[in-house]
């Protein structure tokens, strides 16, 4: 038997409540999830069932009210999370980009984290951004454009490239093709599958079951803040 692979991502009894008293909403209720390196897990469910909240908790963008999220066995609540180990692709592609930053800077900023062994200079970053944009059908895009000058679909692809550029161990994608047409969307799904093929754990949230069926090894249906199991 092969040795057991330790999980890239693990959530244990994670809950998130918003507000207090009678107006309180439990967006995520005691959700547990384990994702192995190279595994692609889909999360499906109707609008408002807690998918985006769960994804933000898994990414460490937001802290759970209770429960723990661990990356490679290390709790995210600790003081020293590995920078860039889990990269989110958030549901709002425009709002997730810094409005002041040109495209090349948004895409390559994760390559400049202090812990990285080599950091490309400005010219190197522009070249990397140009190469990556070609892979998502944006070869001609102005590297100096700001998010406000781009379409939603263009912003979505820039946000995806940013999440993937530093080869994170965990990628958390919230409706990653929501602003893209079918042909571009197929290319993005192929790109995400390739990332998992190289060993990243991938969680993809979508209300579109057809997208999840082609991409994922398993699909979990979330209802009322709960995951099955």
Contacting positions for ligand ADP (CB under 6 A) = 18, 25, 27, 45, 47-53
Residues β-bridged to residue 71:
9, 74
Separate counts of helices (H) and strands (E) for the chain = 6, 9
Listed ranges 3-11, 85-93, 153-161, 219-227: which one lies at the site for Mg ion (CB under 5 A):
85-93
CB of 16 to ligand ADP, least distance (A): 8
Q: Total residues at the site for Mg ion (CB under 5 A)?
A: 3
CB closer to Mg ion, 10 vs 52: 52
Nearest residue by C-beta to Mg ion? 52
Q: Residue 122 has which token pair?
A: 């400005």
CB of 51 to Mg ion, least distance (A): 5
**Of the candidate residues 10, 52, 154, 156, the single one contacting Mg ion (CB under 5 A):** 52
CB closer to ligand ADP, 90 vs 160: 90
Beta strands in the chain (DSSP E): 9-18, 25-35, 40-44, 66-71, 74-75, 86-89, 170-174, 201-205, 218-221
Question: Choosing among ligand ADP, Mg ion, none, which partner's interface includes residue 176 (Cβ < 5 to 8 Å by kind)?
Answer: none
CB of 85 to ligand ADP, least distance (A): 23
CB closer to Mg ion, 103 vs 220: 220
Judged by phi (left if over 0) then psi (alpha if -120 to 50, else beta), residue 175 lies in left
Asked if residue 166 lies in contact with residue 84, where contact means CB atoms within 8 angstroms, the answer is yes
Asked if residue 139 lies in contact with residue 154, where contact means CB atoms within 8 angstroms, the answer is no
């Amino acid at each position: 038997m092969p040795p057991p692979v330790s999980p890239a991502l693990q959530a244990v009894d994670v809950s998130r409540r918003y507000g207090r008293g009678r107006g309180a909403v439990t967006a995520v209720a005691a959700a547990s999830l384990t994702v192995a390196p190279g595994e692609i897990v889909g999360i499906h469910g109707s609008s408002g069932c807690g998918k985006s909240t769960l994804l933000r908790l898994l990414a460490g963008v937001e802290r759970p009210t209770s429960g723990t999220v661990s990356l490679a066995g290390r709790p995210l609540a600790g003081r020293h999370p590995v920078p860039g180990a889990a990269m989110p692709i958030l549901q709002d592609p425009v709002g997730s980009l810094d409005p002041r930053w040109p495209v090349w800077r948004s895409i390559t900023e994760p390559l400049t984290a202090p812990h990285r062994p080599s950091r490309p200079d400005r010219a190197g970053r522009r070249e990397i951004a140009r190469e990556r944009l070609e892979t998502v059908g944006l070869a001609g895009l102005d590297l100096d454009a700001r998010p406000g000058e781009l379409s939603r679909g263009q912003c979505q692809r820039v946000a995806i490239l940013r999440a993937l550029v530093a080869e994170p161990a965990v990628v958390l994608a919230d409706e990653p093709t929501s602003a893209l047409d079918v042909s571009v969307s197929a290319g993005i799904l192929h790109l995400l599958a390739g990332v998992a093929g190289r060993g990243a754990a991938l969680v993809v949230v979508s209300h579109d079951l057809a997208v999840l069926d082609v991409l994922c090894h398993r699909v979990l249906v979330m209802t009322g803040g709960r995951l099955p199991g």
